Amino acid sequence: MRYNIISVGSELTLGLTVNTNAAYIAKRLGKEGYSCNYQIGVPDNVSLISKAIRKSLAEVDGVIITGGLGPTVDDLTREAICDAVDCKLEFQHWLADIIKERYGPRTTPLPEITYRQAYLPSGAKPIIPTIGSAPGIILEKDNRFVISLPGVPREMKEMLETDVIPWLNSRYLINETYKVRVLRTTARTEATLEESVKDIMESLENVTVGIIAFPGEIQLQLLARGNSEEEAAKAIEEAESRFIERLGPIVFGFDEDTLEEVVGRLLKKHDLTLALAESCTGGLTSKKITDISGSSDYFLGGIISYSNDAKVALLNVSEQTLARQGAVSAATALAMAVGVRNRLGSDIGLSITGIAGPTGGTPDKPVGLIYIALSHESTSYSNKYVFFGSRDIIRLKSANAALDMLRYYILDNFEQSGGM
């Protein structure tokens, strides 16, 4: 089943609100095996909303709309649906009673405008809200569907999970089942990952594969359909095995795994402790580590040494190193990693120093230049990276690269040899 998402609201098209609903719907329905053809944002305008609905119904199996179901005059999705599918709005007294009940006993009377939410396009089925007061809408016409959900994220999510997904599955997964598996990788780009596995992707008959890029992570999303659960599971397992055999440790986790969770499990498994020294990332790596419950078992602490004085005073980086090599250099990164390991008494010290931008770059040391170093009693080394993107993206990529560097160190020196 293929569908489009229409997000309604002038606040979205003006950039005043970030559209998180569309991402949630696409990701959630993707796990069910449904494909989003495209997403579009439309202002509060009946003509434009209606046009987007008609276009979607001509292209795909249906459309999911969020927003525009409230009681105010700028909530126009109901009118737009009627315009798009040529039907009328009809007042539903029983819906009005439910809305009144939701309002509850209050000292002020229910505003009359609230009852606008009791109107439905003729032939539509309401989705009764369990939170909020705006009913959702399910309308079928000519083997196509229009589903309209509130724009308030928690109301939208509740209806999507409780009503919409069961409704879709009852119509599109008859005599068919599916399996989804996400392979999470630290490949550098989508293109390099696709080049590595393109022949496998093209050879798969019952599994479709999507390559999705996130800052510091590229995912392979596998979807298999079958006539039975066993058939779909077997297809996924066979495909997964081929990708893992080809990609090796580039695949760091599956489904909901995060890099920090995987690294945490490795540290705990080998009874290793970690300390961090961060400059340009400002503590972001430490935050990611401490986002994991139980990280106090292996994480001793971090030092944010943003200034040169702090690097000298807190991490024992020599003034000569800073003067000769600069704060953004392999030598300084190494000294920071050694310094934090000694200072906090950890098994491993990890450091990050670089230029996150947008200012501060030079021809020799451009924005995005990052050095990450690791120190253990048996070895210390530094790697150089050049990342692109905004300040936030460079910081996030740097933190992920540091975690991945640590992951590889443990895999190479503890997982395969059984310990150093």
pLDDT over 70 (residue 281): yes
Q: Is residue 383 predicted with pLDDT exceeding 90?
A: yes
Of 88-97, 244-253, 286-295, 334-343, the range with the lowest mean pLDDT is 88-97
Query: Helix 165-172 crosses helix 21-32 at what angle (to 10 degrees)?
Result: 40
- Report residue 42 as tokens: 């439309």
Classify strands 207-214 and 177-185 as parallel, antiparallel or unpaired. Answer: unpaired
Where does the pLDDT of residue 116 fall: very low under 50, low under 70, confident under 90, or very high at 90 and above? confident
The pLDDT value recorded for residue 106 is: 63
pLDDT tens by residue, 297-348:
999 999 999 999 999 999 999 999 999 999 999 999 999 999 999 999 999 9
Is pLDDT at 419 greater than 80 in this prediction?
no
pLDDT at residue 201 is higher than 90: yes
Would you say the C-alpha torsion 174, 176, 181, 187 has a positive or negative sign?
negative
Give the span between the Cα atoms of 390 and 340, in whole angstroms: 28
Q: Phi and psi for 386 in degrees, rounded to 5?
A: -130, 110
Name the strand (E) or helix (H) holding 179: strand 177-185
Whether cis (ω within 30° of 0) applies to the bond prior to 358 is yes
Q: How far apart are CA 402 and CA 404, in angstroms?
A: 5
Q: How far is 169 from 186, CA to CA, in rounded Å?
A: 33
354 pLDDT higher than 80: yes
Check whether the bond before 135 is cis (ω within 30° of 0): no
Give the span between the Cα atoms of 77 and 69, in whole angstroms: 6
Q: What is the pairing mode between strands 136-141 and 144-149?
A: antiparallel
State how far the Cα of 74 lies from the Cα of 45, in Å rounded to an integer.
8
Closest CA to 216 of 7, 52, 35, 405: 405
Output 404 or 178, whichever has higher pLDDT.
404
How much of the chain, in percent, has pLDDT values that exceed 70?
97
CB 65 within 8 A of CB 134: no
**Is residue 239 pLDDT above 90, yes or no?**
yes
Instruction: Give the pLDDT of residue 105.
Output: 65
Distance CA 330, CA 229 (A): 52
Judge contact between 184 and 252, C-beta under 8 A: yes
Tokens of 341: 């390991």
The pLDDT tens digits of the residues spanning 59-99 come to 999 999 999 998 888 899 999 999 999 999 999 998 888 88
DSSP letter string, 203-238: H-SSEEEEEEEETTEEEEEEEEEESSHHHHHHHHHH
Which has the minimum average pLDDT: 2-6, 46-50, 190-194, 321-325? 190-194
Say if residues 293 and 285 touch (Cβ distance below 8 Å).
no
Strand partners, 385: 370
pLDDT of amino acid 418: 43
pLDDT of residue 185: 95
Q: How far apart are CA 329 and CA 353, in angstroms?
A: 8
What is the Cα–Cα distance from 412 to 285, expressed in whole angstroms?
22
Checking if the pLDDT of 394 tops 70, the result is: yes
Token output for 141: 């016409």
